[in-house]
Amino acid sequence: MEKIRKQNVMGWISYSFSLFLTCVWAFWGIIENFHEGWYHESFIQNIGLLFLQYLSPMFLFLFLTLISVWKQRVGALLFLLVGIGLSFWFNKFNFFVLLPFFLLASLFWFGQISNKKQKYKVTVILPLFILIIFSVEPVYRVSTRYNDGNFGMRVIKSNGVSLIWAPEGPGWPDDGVNWYEADSLCKYLTEDGLSIATTQQNIWRLPTVEEAVRSMHRHGINCMGRLNASGTPEYENEPDKETPLWNPHTMVIYWWTGTEIDSTHASIITYNGKIRKREKKYGPGSLGFRAVKKFQKGNK
């Protein structure tokens, strides 16, 4: 009797933990998809990215959970194999990544699952419910983004700033660079912002944090951003990945600023106006920049 009770407890823990991880990945996947994904002009490409990149961890845990409810030991072996496979995939042993798989493999192996029909339903319905609930706001936000199609040089004269932002090209690339590359490209950028000179021009530069915050827009209107006493951005209306500043159809969602924190770190700004600290040598594809120069009468 005591043995059966322990098996039931282990079965309940293993199922609950596996379902929890499935739901966590459902939440993460849908939030991240509309934060850093969904930038293609093609609906098919966006859907493909959603399922292949952002929801694949959820589907993996959903599959493993359903198999484990059906046959605990088969599921246990699959959890173990997936954990080992991920270790080879990442080409290194990561204890914190592998621990959940090994823990679930052990619990499902020795546990006992009851009320299987009910668990099948909950396993499918709960993650689906999370996907629906947490996709409502981002789907609406992304589908109503303002895009005037003008990715040329833009003038922002409002909220205490008067800046010209570089056109699409070397001063506003579609891919990521580190801070050192961004700073150097600005220095060599020609007057029209469309090419790189062989000598320093020192016309363009990276915007400061305050300039970037004060320039953020939503639906073509300045968000009236400012830095409070603690240096945290505050907005009357939260910015989004929209023109005139951002291109909604590139993977870049962060920009470098010229505000250096120390010799190895600088501030970046997210399209929604948040400020973060990053190492200057950091340069993923989602972290780019857009050069600026002061607006003066007669500027082109």
Domain holding 103, by residue range, is: 2-143
The set of residues, in sequence order, having a beta carbon less than 8 Å from that of 235 and lying 6+ positions away, is 213, 216, 223, 224, 225, 273
Q: Is residue 101 a part of any domain in this protein?
A: yes
pTM equals 0.88
List, for the chain, all residue ranges whose pLDDT scores fall below the cut of 50. none
Same domain, 85 and 24: yes
Distance CA 119, CA 68 (A): 11
pLDDT of residue 91: 67
Same domain, 35 and 125: yes
Q: Is residue 149 a part of any domain in this protein?
A: no
Element (H, E) at 30: helix 2-36
Among the residues of 37-115, which ranges form H helices?
43-49, 56-70, 72-89, 95-110
Number of domains in the chain: 2
Same domain, 89 and 139: yes
Same domain, 133 and 159: no
Same domain, 55 and 114: yes
pLDDT (tens digit, 9 = 90+) per residue, 98-142? Answer: 888 999 999 899 988 889 999 999 999 999 999 999 999 999 999
Same domain, 59 and 166: no
Q: Is residue 107 a part of any domain in this protein?
A: yes
pLDDT of residue 1: 60
Q: Is residue 63 a part of any domain in this protein?
A: yes
Q: Is residue 148 a part of any domain in this protein?
A: no
Same domain, 200 and 260: yes
